[in-house]
Structure formats: C-alpha cells, structure tokens
C-alpha cells in the first residue's frame, strides 16, 4: 500500500436514490466511490478523468502497469469506446449484462483516460448485471473505471464492510447494496487478437463461453500474455493467515472451510452447489481470516468444474506464499 493517498472521510450510505445522487456528485468532482456489482464491489472513478483514475491506483496501492476495467450501462456506450468485432457482438448479446469482461481495441479519439489501459492499446470493458450499478452510471452519464474495491493484493470485497476493512479513510463513499450475488470477479477474455484468449477465470463459467464460441478457448500463459494482462502475474486475493488447500481435516488451531454435505460449518455449500459456493467464497475467507481466533485457514477440496475452476484459481492465488 502506498502512502500517496490523501486521508479522506469515508461515508457509507445505502444504495437508494439519495445515495446514488450523492455518489454521482462525488464522482463528477473526481471522487472515489465503492459500489456493488453482481460480482464484487468495485472502486469507481470517472473513467474520462485522468486525475480521478490516477487516484484509484493511489488508494489501492495498485501497480500502475495493471490496467482497469471500464464499466458501462449499455452496449451502445461500450461501442463508443472500443471496436467491437463479430465475436464481441455475439458474446455481448448472449452474456451482457453479466460477469464477463471483453478486452477490445481502443477506438480512435476514445474519451477514456489512457490510464485505464496502462499503456496498452486495448480497453477491458464490462456491462454489469447489477441494476444499482447501472443506475449510477446512467445518472452520472459517464463510464466508470472500477477495479475490485480492496487494497491491492488483499481479498476481494463482496460486502460493504469488506470494502471499509481495507479502504476506510482512502475513498469518499461506499454505496451499500448488500452482499454480491455472484461473489467472484468477472471472467476476462481478450478479443483483440486473431483468436479469443481467456485471461482470467471468473463468474461466468468457461464452459458456457466455449459453447458460445463453438470450440475450446485458448488460455493465456504467463509467458505469452503477462505483458497483456499484468493482473495474471500478481499474487492476489491473499488472506493474512496461511491457507492450506484440499484439506479434509483441520490441523490444531486451523479453521476448516468445508464443501459438500458431509462437512460442518463454515461450509461453502452443503449441497455442493457451485453458484452458492462462489457467492460465499470471499465472505467465508474474510470471516475466517482472524489471527486472534485462528492460526491458519484450511479449505476442503472443490471440484474443478464450472465455477469450481474460478474458485480453485482464487484459492490457489490466495495460498501463494
């Protein structure tokens, strides 16, 4: 975390008309507002304002080479900023609004701050399914640059309290819309090259994308794509306590996060439902990550199918030393 972020008074307000109006006013002045999406809470700034976008990096302590996702309220707005190709149209028609981010070439004379692209000639763009997030962007009438609303390298926030836990005093406002329905960040796919490439597993299962593009989706490797999606490289989503994976029985002092019907609480999903497990993942990790109560966190095996692939990806990054 850098020390360049000025100290601010962070207010939390419910996501309703008064809250939205307040948020839009702050954003118009270049402020930072955390808001709920269906995936995780985003830390929003006016994507057309260089200073506002720069302050996101300062508040999060985020490396400047790591580009940001730009959020839009409708496809028409997206098409003003990036060049859509046939695959982009097909995927947007099928999966937007929803937890899918498309990386596409920036349009000529695009009004977005170059900082959102961190030096690349592409923009990652997403139309969120959360009605409150879209209401905010319509009211503001500008796109929102928004990474997850947490200090860089810490667990992503799926509730307003998680945002405050790492960004209190560094941002202007938190719009509290309750827990996020999906609970995992969006799936990121690069459509700027000759063939689509998966950059990040996330809230849209990769199997659904492969049906849509009628074939297997190429996976980015750190060798081929690190410079294109620096976020892939970083240790991410880390709790404070050590984390062990694929564990059936807790060691002394450890709290075990279970999965499936045979395991006690806390449990990602007793019915082994992947959607429920995804929605609960970060909440259970945040709650378990208490050094006063536990010496470590253990997590039961989660099957590597559907959203389980993204869940295991986040768990592996969180366990990275």
Q: Which of 77, 113, 122, 154 touches ligand TXA (CB under 6 A)?
A: 122
CB of 120 to ligand TXA, least distance (A): 5
Residue nearest Mg ion by beta-carbon distance: 148
Cα 284 to Cα 34, 108, 165, 221, 281, distances in angstroms? 21, 44, 15, 29, 5
By CB under 6 A, tell whether 59 contacts ligand TXA. no
The answer to whether 187 touches 203, Cβ cutoff 8 Å, is yes
Query: How far is the C-alpha of 24 from the C-alpha of 90, rounded, in Å?
Result: 32
Q: Which stretch binds ligand TXA (CB under 6 A): 2-10, 81-89, 184-192, 239-247?
A: 184-192
By CB under 6 A, tell whether 199 contacts ligand TXA. yes
Q: Which stretch binds ligand TXA (CB under 6 A): 34-42, 167-175, 285-293, 295-303?
A: 34-42
Residue with tokens 């720069």: 54
Phi, psi (rounded to 5 degrees) for 297? -120, 135
Instruction: Tokens for 45, please give them.
Output: 């700034």
CB of 308 to ligand TXA, least distance (A): 18
CB of 248 to ligand TXA, least distance (A): 31
Instruction: Tokens for 57, please give them.
Output: 């990096």
Residue nearest ligand TXA by beta-carbon distance: 231
Instruction: Tokens for 10, please give them.
Output: 């962070």
The answer to whether 282 touches 297, Cβ cutoff 8 Å, is no
By CB under 6 A, tell whether 231 contacts ligand TXA. yes
Q: Which stretch binds ligand TXA (CB under 6 A): 16-24, 32-40, 160-168, 301-309?
A: 32-40
CB of 260 to ligand TXA, least distance (A): 26
Q: Name the β-bridge partners of 283.
A: none
Q: Which of 135, 172, 176, 185 touches ligand TXA (CB under 6 A)?
A: 185
CB of 163 to ligand TXA, least distance (A): 11
Give the footprint of Mg ion on residues 111-170 (CB under 5 A).
Answer: 148
Query: Quick one: which H or E segment has residue 9?
Result: none
By CB under 6 A, tell whether 68 contacts ligand TXA. yes
By CB under 6 A, tell whether 126 contacts ligand TXA. yes
Cα 233 to Cα 242, 284, 311, distances in angstroms? 20, 25, 17
By CB under 6 A, tell whether 101 contacts ligand TXA. yes
Binding-site ranges for Mg ion (CB under 5 A): 148
Binding-site ranges for ligand TXA (CB under 6 A): 37, 39-40, 42, 66-69, 101, 103, 117, 120, 122-124, 126, 146-148, 185-186, 188, 199-200, 228-231
């Amino acid at each position: 975390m850098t020390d360049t972020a000025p100290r601010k008074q962070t207010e939390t307000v419910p996501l309703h008309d008064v809250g939205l109006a307040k948020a839009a006013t702050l954003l118009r002045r270049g402020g930072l507002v955390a808001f709920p999406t269906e995936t995780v809470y985003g830390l929003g700034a006016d994507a057309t304002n260089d200073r506002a976008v720069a302050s996101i990096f300062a508040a999060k302590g985020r490396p400047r080479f790591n580009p940001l996702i730009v959020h839009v309220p409708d496809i028409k707005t997206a098409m003003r900023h990036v060049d859509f190709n046939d695959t982009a149209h097909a995927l947007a028609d099928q999966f937007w609004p929803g937890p899918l981010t498309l990386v596409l070439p920036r349009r000529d004379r695009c009004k977005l701050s170059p900082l959102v692209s961190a030096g690349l000639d592409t923009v990652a763009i997403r139309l969120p399914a959360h009605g409150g997030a879209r209401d905010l962007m319509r009211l503001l009438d500008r796109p929102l640059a928004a990474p997850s609303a947490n200090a860089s390298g810490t667990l992503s926030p799926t509730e307003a309290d998680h945002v405050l836990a790492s960004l209190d005093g560094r941002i202007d406002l938190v719009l509290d819309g309750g827990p996020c329905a999906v609970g995992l960040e969006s799936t990121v796919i690069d459509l700027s090259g000759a063939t689509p490439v998966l950059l990040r597993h996330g809230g849209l299962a990769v199997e659904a994308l492969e049906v849509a593009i009628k074939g297997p989706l190429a996976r980015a490797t750190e060798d081929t794509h690190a410079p294109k999606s620096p976020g892939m490289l970083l240790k991410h989503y880390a709790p404070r306590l050590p984390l062990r994976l694929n564990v059936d029985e807790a060691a002394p002092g450890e709290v075990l996060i279970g999965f499936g019907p045979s395991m006690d609480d806390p449990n990602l999903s007793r019915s082994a439902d992947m959607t429920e497990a995804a929605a609960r993942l970060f909440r259970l990790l945040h709650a378990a990550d208490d050094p006063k109560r536990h010496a470590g966190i253990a997590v039961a095996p989660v099957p590597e199918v559907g959203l389980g692939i993204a869940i295991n990806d986040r768990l592996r990054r969180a366990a990275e030393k």
